[in-house]
Structure 1
Amino acid sequence: MTTAREIADTGAQILTAVRTVVVGMDDPLEIALASILAGGHVLFEDVPGLGKTLAARSLASALGLFFRRLQCTPDMLPGDVTGSYVYAPDSGEFVFRPGPIFTGLLLADEINRTTPKTQSAMLEAMAERQVTVEGNSFPLPAPFHVIATSNPIEFEGTYALPEAQLDRFMVRLSIGYPEAEGEAQILQNRVLRQEEATHVPSVVDAPRLAELQAAVEAIHVDQDITRYCVEIVRATRGAPQVEVGASPRGSLGLVLLGRALAALDGRDFVRPDDIKRIAVPVLAHRLTLTPQAWSQGASAADVVRSVIGQVAVPPTVRALG
């Protein structure tokens, strides 16, 4: 059985490999890796040009996963994602031709540029690791993960992700602009490469990743920690700025991602600080603010931070925090 120390060592190697080409994303990269180790999907939401696509491609390469990129557009159809039946002249029958979703890691680039009908084509795949076309179900490769990108500042020609779609993402991450030194390093790396293409070596392969994911399942979660997660999520439902709070899937996301973060830290148990660190990326995109809060400039992230400050850490695990 793979130990937490082994997960931490392997995780450090993966992040080191990715950071050879991705600069200034240390925290988002670690949380994205933890999300994959926890079996989840990742949404990067930020302005264009910050390296979201490069980060997804680099993670896929370091994890040894077959990678496909889907550039979302308004005219894209569900069959362009899942695949469809096509006529085979040789046999005189219709045969299923798999779409780009049949991969290890799918990058859905600018997912908010395609229509809700096409966005929903990914729901079954993200939740059940299968797609259904004309009544026939087809299993996806294992492991299977989706990393999507979204531009939050552009509204013309875009379609906001519905709550059901957002809820399928374990985390929503914002990268932000790099520091001056980091941006200079990006330029220097490009000059030294002398080409546009980047290369990240594989640290693990798909079977080894599956072993790491299975080992994360063995990380201990104290009952007081699970109760702490529940109290945080319940507090979002009662916040005055919130119209619809986080669902139980949010509570589950805190626990699952908390285990993965603990493993990446070499621990076989979850601490309250793990939950505090991931509360915003796990919960903020699951909240619907009231019109009054929205008009006053409030953000879901601020609500989650306020809730974290109000919910008491369980006394039996306070010392671990």
Structure 2
Amino acid sequence: MTLSYNLQDYSFDLPEELIAQHPMKDRDQSRLLIYHSKTKEIEHDTFSGLYKYLDAEDLLVLNDTKVIPARLYAWKTTGGKIEIFLIRPIIAQTWLCMVSSSKKIKKGHSLKLSSDIQGEIIKELPHGYRHISFHGENLEENLRNLGNIPLPPYIKRELNEEDATRYQTIFASKEGAVAAPTAGLHFTDNLFSKLKQKGVNVAHITLHVGPGTFKKVTCDDIRSHHVDQEYFEISNETINLLKATKKKKKRVISVGTTTTRVLESLETPWASTKGWTNLYIRPPYTYKVIDSLITNFHLPQSSLLFLVSALTGHEEIKSIYKEAVFERYRFYSYGDAMICL
């Protein structure tokens, strides 16, 4: 397996029209590239055919986090408009946020979100982060009503009604993410039914995806990069399924890079746990838990691309992505998917 630490080696030419701006009409009609790691062969299918590549008693692990309406707008007392990006609650009524404004927003600044909701900057942090204390009537409900689903920056259009459901997986159940675990967006009830009929087991973890998923890599040597911490949970039920799968020498198939980081963060002996992970997976890395990976196609020079490269090999991922571009696969959050077998 080949590897490289040079950031420039993770560049590739991507025509702008291949960056998906909308989801497919039907979730499971996204395309699926199948990469066979032993033979290095590539096949092409639709995601609805995923079940054909899995075996009875394989374990499919998905991230059940749910995206919150994290993007809000507020006005300063001077009348200036600012954008607030909720990240996570710190204590009651106080959130860690990212703030975007034409002028610096300082500690003590008052903000008005609506006639019912106000905010105050109570702490300044680097890189645009702030602690904001919110107050007002029916705070949680009003923040939810004021907020919008935060589409990724490479989707160059206005939010529409469809995004409220399509930028969530159908199994999303635990609120806390500010970005979707996009490999899970392709699953449908019909596909889960086919997987069940084949005897494939399904388990869930939770990782609340943070804004760090879009963090740009700025160092020339990828070994110098760091990823942000994100909160995760893994249950006894999932741990028991993982143990049973390994005991039977069946495959653990991770759905997405977020699920992968949780599973690979497990310490031996495996046990249910909750906490924070900043596991940075990049070449060379020996996977300890997962055997296969389902993932969307990622940005050039991104930490997510490094994670996939650690599984496939550097020259191999270059060949896979060259094939995906040639075959006109759709890229990024609303794009198509691949599975590394």
- TM-score surpassing 0.5? no
Compare the two structures and name the one with the higher helix fraction: 1
TM-score normalized by the length of structure 2: 0.23
Output the TM-score relative to the length of structure 1. 0.24
